[in-house]
Structure 1
Amino acid sequence: MLKSVIDIVETLATDVRAPARPPASLEELAATFSAVDDPLAANLRAALTGLRPAAKWAGEFADLPAGEVWVVDALDGAVQLLQGLPQYCLTVTLVRDGEPELAVLHSPWLKETYAAKRGEGAKRNGIPIEPSRKKSLDAAVAATSQPPFVTRQPGVAEAAGTSLTAVLKKALAVRNFGPTSWQVADVAAGRLDLFWQYGRDAANLAGAALIAREAGAVVTAADGAPWTPSAGSFVATAPALHALVLDALNQAE
C-alpha cells in the first residue's frame, strides 16, 4: 500500500499552484489558502479512502478514534507557497490506534519523496536513508520551527526564543527551511543534523517522526522522554548528538 500512497501524493501534487502574487491581508491569505488547500485535501481524501475504505479521516492529529485514521496536511509550509516560495510539501500518515504506520512526504519543488513503513526502514525516492555521522555540535547544522498559530500555546514562543539562543551558542548554524515535517525528514537523511521544536504540532510531526525513527535518528521530547502526539516539545537528532542537544535545551530552560 505504501507505493499506492506515494503514487497518489505525487500525482495530486502536480496540481498545486502558488497564487499570482502574495496575499495582501490576513483575510486574503485565508481565502487564498482555502482555494488551494480545500480541493487538494478533498482529492487526497477521495483517493486515500479508495485505498482504505474503513479508515477514518483527520485533518489534524487530535483525539483520534481507535483503529486506522488518515492524518493529512495537504500543504505543510502553506505560508511559503502563498508567498510564492517553493519550500512546502504534502504529508500523509496512516495511524493505527495512535501509532503511525506509514508516512509519505512529497516536495513538488525538489521532486523528492520521503516514505516509511513501520519496521521497514525509510527511503527518499526509493533509496534508503540514514542520519548524520557527526559527533559534536560545533559542526552541526540545526533546524527549528514553531507550530501553527504559536501564540495560542502559552509559553511556546518564549521557549522557542530561549532555546534558539542556547543552540546558536553551540551549533555551527541554525536554520528554518520551511515545512516542519520536511526538516525532520532531512534529519533522517543526514542533510540536517538535528531539529527541535516546542509546542504541540502532531499533524506535522507524526509522519516525520516515523521516517526519522525508521532511518535510525533519535526522536524524543526535549526532556528525553519518548515523543508522543500530545508532547509539548520535539527533538530529532543524529544518534551521537542526542545527549548534547538535550543538554543545550535543558540549559535554556
Structure 2
Amino acid sequence: MSTHTTSISSLCQPIDIALRDAGAHLLTRPRIAPTPTMSAFRAAFDALETDVMAILRPALAALVPEATWIDELDAAALPRGRAWLVDSVDGAVQYMRGLPQWCLTATLLQDGEPVLAVLHNPVLGESYTAMRGEGAWRNGNPIVPSETGDIAVALVCTSQPPFAAQDPASVASAGSSLARVLGVAGAVRNLGPTSWQIADVAAGRLDGFWEYGDDRSNLLGSVLIAREAGAFVTDTAGEPWTPSSPSILVATPALGDTLLDALAR
C-alpha cells in the first residue's frame, strides 16, 4: 500500500493498529530488572528497541514503502521526501522501571515536515492522532487546549532531552526556569514522556509544557498534534518553534504569553 494511491487520512487507523499491537506486546514482555551501570542500561534498551521495532518496522514500511527511516536524529538536516520517525518507547526509563508513563510514537514526515503523527499509551489504552491541516484527536474525538489563563491555577510540566548532562547550557536554563515557574504556577510536574505531555496540553489535561535542549525526535510529532489542536507553540523566547530551536513552550492560548514572561524573568 503506498501513499501515492492512499490518502494520508487512511493511514491513521493502520498506524494506530500497529502501535497498539506493539504496545500490547510490551505489556506482556518480561519486566526488565533495574540496570546497575550505563553499559547494562544500553544493552537492555537496545534489546527492547530491537524487539519492538521487529513489530513496528515491517508494519509501517508496508503502509508507505517509499518512506525512508530516520534511525538517528541529530543536528543534521531532515531528509527530503517521505520518512518515518518512530520511537519504540518514549519514556523507556519509566517502562524499564515498571512505571506507567510511556508511549509509542510514529510520525510521517514529508520533506522534513510532519504530516501525520500517532502516539499510543498502552497502559491508558489511548491514542493521539493528528494530520497536517485536518485536526487532532484522542481515540477519535477532537481535542482542544484548556481555557486556563490564570497561571496561579495552572498545571504545567517540564522535562529534559535524553542525556541532558551533555548540554550544560540547557541544564542551566532548565534549572533556572524551574525556579521561576515554580514561583508563579499552581503546580509544576514532570509526567514522563515529552511527546505525551505535549499531547496532553493539546487536549486540555495540562496547561503548559516547556523544555530546553535538542529533543526534536520527541517533538516533531507532538508539535503537530499541539498545533492542529490550536495550542500556543513557540520557543521560550517567543519565536516560532522549528526543529533547530534550542527550547520549546507549548501552552493553552490564554496562558502562553504569561508563561513566556515567567520564563524570561
TM score, norm. by length of structure 1: 0.96
Query: Which segment drifts farther, 145-154 or 181-190?
Result: 145-154
Task: Report the Cα distance in structure 2 between the residues aligned to 1:60 and 1:131, rounded to whole angstroms.
Answer: 31
Which residue pairs with 1:54 in the alignment? 66
CA shift at 1:120, angstroms? 1.1
Q: Deviations over 1:103-157 (max 9, x none)?
A: 0000011111001111111111111111010111001000000000112223011
Q: Deviations over 1:170-228 (max 9, x none)?
A: 10000001100000000001100000000010000110000011111011111111111
RMSD: 1.1
Alignment of 1:1-253 (within 5 A): 1-16=11-26, 17=29, 19-62=31-74, 63-251=77-265
CA shift at 1:24, angstroms? 2.4
Contact 2:117 2:130 in 1 (8 A): yes
Which residue type is aligned with residue 195 of structure 1? F
Which residue type is aligned with residue 50 of structure 1? A
Query: 5+ residue gaps in structure 1?
Result: none
TM score, norm. by length of structure 2: 0.92
CA shift at 1:43, angstroms? 2.4
Query: Secondary structure of the residue that 2:258 maps to in structure 1?
Result: helix
Runs of 4+ residues over 4 Å off in structure 1: none
Contact 1:103 1:117 in 2 (8 A): yes
Which residue type is aligned with residue 175 of structure 1? R
Query: Secondary structure of the residue that 1:59 maps to in structure 2?
Result: coil
Note closer, same or farther for the CA distance 1:18–1:110 as it changes in structure 2 (3 Å cut). Answer: farther
CA shift at 1:94, angstroms? 0.5
Query: Secondary structure of the residue that 1:12 maps to in structure 2?
Result: helix
CA shift at 1:41, angstroms? 1.9
Contact 2:32 2:44 in 1 (8 A): no
Contact 2:158 2:190 in 1 (8 A): yes
Calculate percent identity across the aligned residue pairs: 51
Query: 5+ residue gaps in structure 2?
Result: 1-10
* Aligned positions, number: 251
Query: Which segment drifts farther, 156-165 or 7-16?
Result: 7-16
CA shift at 1:20, angstroms? 4.6
